[in-house]
């Protein structure tokens, strides 16, 4: 584990360096307070720090204050080193944001013991962050497919349409629906249906770029947002996504099942001032048109959709 040693006294710095190195730490040694703040505020900076009280530029308590103020992610456990022994000094040090203090000259066993306390605190913080992240994931993702849930994907759509309008970059919206999904559930049971949904979700994610969004919109419906996707290329991208599902059977406990996908596609280089809810309604109509047109196809949304605006994309299997 990385540890920062900040001390302008070369003797003290060297003693700490050697002691900590022997104890298995990766030591980052600096000579003044501003270097200490810089190191500790790096995203991959040390999470443990030993700070001398008296240092050039910034003293130890000020370093603690600065780090607490600037660093919002990843707690840093800071121990002040001091030859000051007065109660008022200790109170000042701890009030500045230090977690502990150690009196100079330090005893190596005491130092290691206090650092173990630091480890425990950091470990606990790690578990809390992990638990918070798990909760955040559960609140924003669909439990079965791990895709964004309906609320989040609709929110993302609103934001992306606004961004597209603001930055004048094109966006494509795809509303996708697995064909005859009810029949799969009725024939093979819901567990197989779940397997199909999970595999379809996996294929959808693999068929888009890392900065595109895929969410579960409803039972077997998925909403895909392709960022920075020009209107001219959107249909071919939609075709790729359709093929990603229908191109090969999905393996389930009941055997390989052929599943196809119908897609409503809305694409524009400029959305104008239209609300995203209206776009969503239109893409839904396009999906309906794809279903009505025989399924396993991509239909292009327009404010007034008609059959001659439909893209011919029916697969040979359908």
Positions annotated as catalytic residues are 220
Q: How many CA atoms lie within 13 A of 186 on its CB side?
A: 4
105 cis-preceded (ω within 30 degrees of 0): yes
| DSSP state for residue 137 in the 8-state scheme | H
Residue 205: phi, psi to the nearest 5? Answer: -65, -40
Shortest distance, position 113 Cβ to other proteins, whole Å? 15
Shortest distance, position 23 Cβ to other proteins, whole Å? 10
Binding status of residue 247 toward other proteins by CB under 8 A:
no
The rounded distance, in Å, linking the Cα atoms of 269 and 203 is 27
Lookup result for tokens 């888009």? 208
What is the pairing mode between strands 221-227 and 48-52?
Answer: unpaired
Of the candidates 85, 105, 126, 294, which one interacts with other proteins according to CB under 8 A? 105
* Between 24 and 272, CB nearer to other proteins: 24
The rounded distance, in Å, linking the Cα atoms of 275 and 158 is 8
Shortest distance, position 38 Cβ to other proteins, whole Å? 23
- Contact range with other proteins by CB under 8 A, out of 65-73, 105-113, 176-184, 217-225: 105-113
Of the candidates 108, 198, 228, 315, which one interacts with other proteins according to CB under 8 A? 108
- How wide is the angle at C-alpha 34 spanned by C-alphas 4 and 71, nearest 5°? 70
CB neighbourhood size of 192 (10 A):
18
The rounded distance, in Å, linking the Cα atoms of 127 and 35 is 29
3-state secondary structure of 56: coil
**Count of helices and strands (H, E) across the chain:** 10, 12
* Between 19 and 315, CB nearer to other proteins: 19
Contacts of 222 (CB under 8 A, 6+ apart): 147, 175, 176, 177, 200, 201, 204, 214, 215, 216
Lookup result for tokens 């443990």? 48
Binding mask 6-45 for other proteins (x = CB under 8 A): --xxxxx-xx--xx--x-----------------------
Of the candidates 2, 41, 54, 89, which one interacts with other proteins according to CB under 8 A? 54
Shortest distance, position 31 Cβ to other proteins, whole Å? 12
* Between 89 and 125, CB nearer to other proteins: 89
Of the candidates 69, 83, 113, 137, which one interacts with other proteins according to CB under 8 A? 83
* Between 105 and 247, CB nearer to other proteins: 105
* Between 14 and 168, CB nearer to other proteins: 14
* Between 71 and 84, CB nearer to other proteins: 84
Size of the site for other proteins (CB under 8 A): 17
Binding status of residue 110 toward other proteins by CB under 8 A:
no
For residue 164, which of 263, 300, 279, 242 has the smallest C-alpha distance?
Answer: 279
3-state secondary structure of 22: helix
Binding status of residue 104 toward other proteins by CB under 8 A:
yes
Shortest distance, position 51 Cβ to other proteins, whole Å? 14
Shortest distance, position 103 Cβ to other proteins, whole Å? 10
Binding interface with other proteins (CB under 8 A)? 8-12, 14-15, 18-19, 22, 54, 83, 104-108
């Amino acid at each position: 584990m990385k540890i920062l040693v900040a001390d302008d006294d070369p003797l003290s710095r060297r003693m700490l360096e050697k002691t900590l190195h022997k104890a298995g730490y990766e030591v980052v040694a600096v000579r003044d307070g501003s270097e200490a703040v810089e190191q500790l505020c790096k995203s991959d900076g040390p999470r443990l720090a030993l700070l001398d009280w008296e240092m050039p530029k910034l003293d130890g308590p000020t370093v603690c204050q600065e780090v607490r103020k600037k660093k919002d992610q990843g707690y840093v456990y800071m121990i002040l080193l001091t030859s000051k022994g007065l109660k008022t000094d200790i109170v000042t040090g701890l009030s500045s944001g230090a977690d502990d203090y150690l009196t100079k000259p330090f005893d190596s066993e005491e130092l290691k013991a206090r650092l173990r306390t630091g480890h425990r605190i950091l470990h606990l913080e790690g578990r809390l962050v992990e638990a918070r992240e798990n909760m955040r994931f559960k609140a924003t993702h669909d439990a079965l497919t791990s895709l964004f849930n309906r609320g989040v994907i609709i929110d993302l759509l609103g934001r992306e349409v606004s961004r597209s309008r603001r930055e004048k970059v094109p966006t494509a919206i795809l509303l996708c629906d697995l064909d005859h999904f009810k029949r799969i559930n009725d024939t093979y049971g819901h567990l197989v249906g779940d397997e199909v949904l999970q595999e379809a979700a996996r294929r959808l994610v693999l068929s888009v770029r890392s900065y595109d969004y895929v969410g579960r919109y409803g039972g077997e419906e998925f909403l895909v947002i392709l960022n920075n996707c020009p209107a001219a290329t959107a249909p071919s991208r939609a075709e790729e996504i359709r093929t990603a599902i229908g191109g090969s059977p999905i393996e389930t406990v009941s055997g390989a099942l052929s599943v196809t996908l119908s897609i409503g596609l809305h694409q524009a280089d400029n959305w104008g001032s239209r609300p995203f809810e209206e776009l969503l309604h239109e893409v839904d109509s396009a999906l309906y048109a794809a279903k009505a047109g025989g399924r396993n196809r991509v239909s292009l949304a327009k404010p007034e959709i008609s059959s001659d605006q439909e893209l011919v994309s029916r697969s040979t299997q359908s």
